[in-house]
Amino acid sequence: MYVKICGLRTAEHARVAVEAGASAVGVVMNRTSVRRATEDEARAVVEATRGAADSVLVVNDMDAVDAAALAVRLGFDVLQLHGPAYAEQDFAAASRFIERVWRATSLDHDPPLQVGAWGEEVLLLDAPRPGSGERWDLSALADRAPQGRWMIAGGLAPSTVAEVVATVRPWGVDVSSGVETSPGEKSAELIGDFLAACQTR
C-alpha cells in the first residue's frame, strides 16, 4: 500500500513518517491553507526524506508553471495540482518542467476518473473540502472506482483507513487532518498509528 502523509512542515515529522514506513510526504504551499509551509520548511522536509520517500509539493491556487518551477527549485520529486483551478492544459504545461505530476480532484467536480487522462502519473480522489477531515460517501465509487495508480483521501484516520481500503481498494491512501491534534498541527504518534494501521489492514 502506497501511503502519503500530507501537510508536513517539519523535518522531525517527515523523519517520523519515513521511519514508520511512509511512501511519500506532502508539503502544502497553498496561499490560504492552515498547513501552508514556507520555502525553508519545505526544503527541510525535502532534505529529511531525500532518497527514502517521494516528496510531493501540493498546490491549488498557484499557476501550474510557477508551481512546477518552485517544485524543481526546492527539490521535490512530484508536483500535485489539486482541485478545479487546473485544466488539462495545465498538466501538460507543468510536465515540461517536472516529470512527475499528480492530479487531485473531487467527485463533486465530475472529473475524468481514468488515471492518466490528463497526463498525470497518479490520480487522487479527495473529499469535497480538501483538508477538512470530512468523510465522503464511498458508495459513489461502487461502480466506477479508477483502475491503476489512484489514491483516496478525505476523512482518513488510524481508526478508519482499514475500512476504506477494504471498501474501495485504492492503490494508495493520503492523510493530513487525520494525523493532527488540531488544524495544521501534526502528531508524531498519530502518524505512526496511521502507518501501522495501513500495514496491518
Structural domain spans, the chain: 2-199
Please give the model's pTM, rounded to 2 decimal places.
0.94
Question: Which CATH superfamily does the domain covering 2-199 fall into?
Answer: Aldolase class I (3.20.20.70)
CA-closest candidate to residue 64, choices 9, 119, 14: 119
Note the pLDDT tens digit of each residue in 30-75.
988 999 999 999 999 999 999 999 999 999 999 999 999 999 999 9
Mean pLDDT of 74-84: 97
Three-state SS at 126:
strand
Three-state SS at 67:
helix
Note the pLDDT tens digit of each residue in 118-155.
999 999 999 766 656 667 778 888 778 899 999 999 98
Note the pLDDT tens digit of each residue in 149-166.
999 999 899 999 999 999
Centroid of chain to Cα 43: 17
Cell numbers representing residue 67 in the block: 508551481
Q: Which residues pair with 24 in a beta bridge?
A: 4, 54
